[in-house]
Each structure stands twice: as C-alpha cells, then as structure tokens.
Chains A and B, each alone.
Chain A
Amino acid sequence: MIRLERRPNPSQVWSYLTPVVALIATMIAGGAMFAALGSDPVEAIRLIFWDPLFGEFAFYYRAQILVKAGPLILIAVGLALGFRAGIWNIGAEGQYIMGAIFAAAVGLAFYPMEARWLIFPLMIVAGALGGFLWAMIPALLKTKFNTNEILVSLLLVYVAEQFLAKMSFGALRNPDGQGFPGSRNLSQYASTANPEVIAGTGAHWGVIAATIAVLVAAILLSRHRVGFDIKLMGVAPRAAAFSGVIPARMVILCLGISGALAGLAGMFEVTGPAGQITENFNQGYGFTAIIVAFLGRLNPIGILFAGLLIGLTYIGGDAAQSGMGLPLAAVQAFQGMLLFFLLAFDLLTQYRVRLGKAGVAA
C-alpha cells in the first residue's frame, strides 16, 4: 500500500528548487508528447524555449513575451495575495472580462472626443472598478452566507462571458461596423489607445502597471501590517482571529484587490493588444494566472519570473504551431503539465511516499 507521510521538516532549498525541477520534468514529458504526435521533440522544445529569446526573430518575440506576461503578472499578483490568506479566487477571468467591458464602455462614451488626459485615467478607474465589483459578489456572499468563493467566483466567469457576448452584439457594437459584432477599435482611437511606452519593447502601460503591482505587493507582504495579517490568516486563521484580524474584512480586501487587478489587466488588454470588445476577447489569462501564481510560489518577485516564463511558452507555443504544425491543444496541454508537475513536486516536498501497511493509531 502506498501512503503519504508528512515530512517533519520540509527542505527549504527543495521548496525553492521545485519550479525548476517541474520545468525540466515538463520539458521531458512534453517532449515525449510531441514525439508521440510525430514531431521532433528537441526541435519543439527549442522552438518554444530558445528561439523566442535568441532566435532569428527574437527582437519581435521578446516584445511579444512582455505583452503576454503583463496581464498574467498583474492578475497573478492579486490572486497570490488571496491565496496566501486562504481565499481562493478562481474567477479572475470573469473579473478580467468585466474590467475590459467597463473600461471600453467608459472610453467609448466619449468617442470621438480628444482628451486623453481625462479619458485614459478614467478608463483605468472604470476597469479596476469593474473587476472589483465583480469580485465583490463572491466576497459578500462568502461573508454574509458563508458560500464557497471557489464555486461562486468560477461560475461567475461564465456569466461574465455571456455578458461579454451580449455587449459585443448589443450596447458596445460599433455603429459604423456594418452590422459586424464587436466594439470600435480602442487602440485606433488616440484617447483610449494603450501603445508601447518605449517603442519596440512591447512595454505598454499594462506592463508598467504589472511591475508597479509586483513592487507594491512585495513591500506589502514583507513590510506592512496588512501583509503580515494576510500571511497569518493563511497559516493560522485562529491565531489571526486572536490577533485582531477580522476574517470578513480580509475576504473583502483580498478578493477586492485581486478583482481590481484582474479588471485592470482587462482594461490594458482591451485598449492595447486586443483593441476591441469581441465575443472571444478573453483568452484564458485569468485561469493561466493561477498557474503563474503557484509557479511563482505566491511570491510577487517569483510571479514576475513565472509570468515571463509562461509568456515565453505562449509565444514559443505559437512559434511551434506555425513552425512545426503542432496543434493548439498540444501546446495548452504542455502548459497544463507545468502546473501538474509543480503541484506534484510540491506535494513531494511536503510529504514522503511510504510503502507498506498503514500504522495503527496509538
């Protein structure tokens, strides 16, 4: 019989090495999967991990990595704060969608007025507000009725997707679009566009916001009383309650921050890379950010690197699709493997595998 036994003193070094080992295991298992699909595994891994950084077209791919990593990092930082407090917001995707819709609606309300100094900051507030309000639904249901925030936030993603479809076919549809669904292109309207701040780097305002969020979260968690309360509530909720932490307030704070950051990510995406509200605007960033948060060990600095790594797999995956004809599902499975291996190795860091009969309780 196989059983798991908790390690009395889990290795700190092994805990930090886990993401690296998980990455290597993903490369091996992913390579085997690509080989089973009839592709050269070494070539596929090279296309995913090496070419976007050092290949012939690296100058283009590197900028794209930042474009992909920006929203992932922004969402993951917010999620990590909640996860550390034991508050599981799985619906960041819905908050991301609502942030984008709110921001687009506010921006388009001013069309074609030219007042970037007013409209763009207002859209930032609207984006954060959209995500915040959407996150408040599971937060208030949890604090008032003790509902499960995992289920509520997850199911609200599908509600948000329906709302997105409704908006792209209805209120936000471009009146000059000859009946095609989708809003006006926000990236072509000077007051709402989110261009690169430094040309050629891919660093739009979303990337800058993500960097600021990482720094603020790192300071919050290491130097601030609120960060200490968040960590304490995750590790020892009873001790946190004795020390004066109010759980309901913490639920609202953590879900509010993660919702607002997810909404901000949606805002920066709809004004920049995506450009407009369409039925298929969302690309699963809210779900991928969960992988990023765990890959980064729920640490803001770790999340920065994890976001860049996942951004690399997105861009490398695209390159592998076009270069080797790999199916999209295989690339997505490859990304899923990363979380699987990470959780598996995490488990082995905390527990050891024992063979034999279970002991008798004393």
Chain B
Amino acid sequence: MTRAMPVMIGLAMGLMIPFVVHGNGAVGGALFLIAHLLVLLAVLLLLRFVPRIGRVLRTHRPSPAHMARMALGAAAGFAVICLSCTFFFGMPHPWT
C-alpha cells in the first residue's frame, strides 16, 4: 500500500461524514452501512479483475502512521465537504 492510499481512503470517509451526521437515527446508520457495503463490493469486484490489489491487501499491515494519514485525509475530506456546503448553499442561519 502506497503512502497516498490511506490519505485517499480517509478523504472518501471525510466526504461522507456530513451525510451520516445529517441522516438522523436509522437513516444515518443505513447510509453508513450502505457506504461500507458498497466499498466492500467494489473491492471484491476489483480483486476479481486486478490481481495486484490482492497482493497489496495480503501484504498490508495496519500501523499508527497509516491511521494518522487516514485521519488527516478524513479531516481534509470533511473540511472540503463543509466548504462546499457554505459555498453552494450559503451561510447557515442560527437554529437556536
């Protein structure tokens, strides 16, 4: 696994955070589950056609550095989606 890959995985997770947070209760949970099932499905499909992915997954061992890169990617993804919310949907009005 290259050093850029955990950042990309984190980025995808970060982009999903608001959808999960805003989908209250069962909807949020369902979104979370569906997103992960889709990722799993995509990986399984890719495994069938790209043997290199299988090799990467077999040799990959999680590490603190991997987690840190993923967290950084997630923060960047979350920042980007928040940014797009403000830019495209305008300033939030106070709800309290």
Contact = CB atoms under 8 A, between A and B. Distances in A.
A125 interface: yes
Contact of A110 (B72, B82, B88, B90): B82
A106 interface: yes
Interface residues of B, number: 19
B58 interface: no
Interface in A58-72: none
Nearest to A121: B75
Given A112-B94, A174-B91, A175-B93, A105 B75 contact: no
A111 B83 contact: no
Contacts of B87: 105, 171
Contacts of A209: none
Interface residues of A, number: 21
A106 B79 contact: yes
Contacts of B88: 171
B62 interface: no
Given A108-B91, A129-B76, A175-B93, A122 B86 contact: no
Given A108-B92, A122-B79, A174-B91, 20 more contacts: A105-B86, A106-B83, A108-B91, A109-B92, A111-B91, A111-B94, A121-B75, A125-B72, A125-B76, A126-B80, A129-B76, A129-B79, A129-B80, A171-B86, A171-B90, A171-B91, A173-B91, A175-B90, A175-B91, A175-B93
Given A109-B92, A112-B94, A172 B86 contact: yes
Contacts of B46: none
Contacts of A110: 82, 92
A122 B91 contact: no
B74 to A, nearest CB: 10
A126 B82 contact: yes
Contacts of A122: 75, 78-79, 82
Interface in A154-187: 171-175, 183-184
A45 B27 CA distance: 67
B35 interface: no
Contacts of A126: 79-80, 82-83
Interface in B42-96: 72, 75-76, 78-80, 82-83, 85-88, 90-96
Contact of A102 (B72, B78, B79, B96): B79
